[in-house]
Amino acid sequence: MSSSERFWTSRLRWRLHGAWQWPAFAVLTLVDGVVLDRLPPLGAARMDLILGVLIATFANLFLVGAVAPFLAKRLSQRREAGLATGAGPVGAGPSPQAEREVLQDRVGTALLAAGLVAVVVSGLANRPLTVSETEATEEVGRELRSYVIRSGSEELARNLETANTARLSDGYFRACIARDDRRRYLCLLVDTTKDPTEVTKDRDARPNSAFAP
């Protein structure tokens, strides 16, 4: 085999070693989009899958188009500096350009995988807070209905549909029901952080809207 054939065979073999970035980009971008849809990182409602994929596409393009080349260049420079000072292995091998291409491919693939991990961790980290807040709100609704039933007030029962809840602090809520005249309200202060949940009647008959900033 001629030296030219050996060169191109070696180069092809190295390029195949570094052929993971774009297949990983296609697969992981789709997975990122699904994760963003199912586990939104900012606590919002589930976003559309297409929107999630678009966001993931732009983020991953930034990783492989800007971050990966920068990191690969720095790593390559350090390796070449090591070889120049005799700190690295010496011998025949692929061309420096082929090595840089493979290195950039591997760095890009690693960044894509790290990006997926970051999206999953961010979504999961937010999820317990969202669930906890929802459960607390549902608890407030149950306590409010129970209070109305125990009171035996027909006025409150027929106005139960006007009930609204305001969050005052973590696990602490103010729930109100309008009276027939719609000027006075029954309001309860509900502390879901205590076991059992503590419910106190608020002497202030103003609606929650009166406390809005």
Handedness of CA 152, 158, 161, 163 (dihedral sign): negative
Q: Is the pLDDT of residue 175 over 70?
A: yes
Encode pLDDT of 50-89 as tens digits: 988 999 999 999 999 999 999 988 888 887 777 666 554 5
Model confidence at 131, in pLDDT bands (50, 70, 90)?
low
| pTM to 2 decimal places | 0.53
**163 lies in which domain range?**
152-211
Give all strands of the β-sheet with 164-169 in edge-to-edge order: 164-169, 172-178, 185-191, 198-202
Whether 13 has a pLDDT exceeding 90, the answer reads no
Examine the domain organization and report whether 20 and 87 are in the same domain. Answer: yes
**Average confidence (pLDDT) over 34-57:** 81
DSSP-derived letter for residue 86 is T
Residues 19 and 101 in one domain: yes
User: In the chain, what percentage of residues exceed pLDDT 70?
Assistant: 77
Same-domain pairing of 39 and 107: yes
Residues 97-127: tens digit of each pLDDT: 767 888 888 899 999 999 999 998 888 777 6
Whether residues 79 and 169 share a domain: the answer is: no
Whether omega for the bond prior to residue 196 falls within 30 degrees of 0, making it cis, is: yes
Q: Are residues 78 and 114 in the same domain?
A: yes
Number of domains in the chain: 2
201 vs 133, more confident: 201
For residues 13 and 113, membership in a common domain is answered with yes
Q: Are residues 12 and 77 in the same domain?
A: yes
Is 175 a domain residue? yes
- Shortest CA distance to 20 belongs to which of 79, 74, 101, 75? 101
Considering 133, 165, 189, which residue would you say is the last residue of a domain? 133
39 lies in some domain: yes
Summarize the confidence of residues 205-212 as an average pLDDT.
Answer: 82
How far is CA 61 from each of CA 19, 73, 115, rounded to the nearest angstrom?
A: 16, 18, 11
User: How does the average pLDDT of the chain come out, rounded?
Assistant: 81
Residue 28, pLDDT score: 94
**Residue 206 domain-assigned?**
yes
Tell whether 93 and 181 lie within a shared domain: no
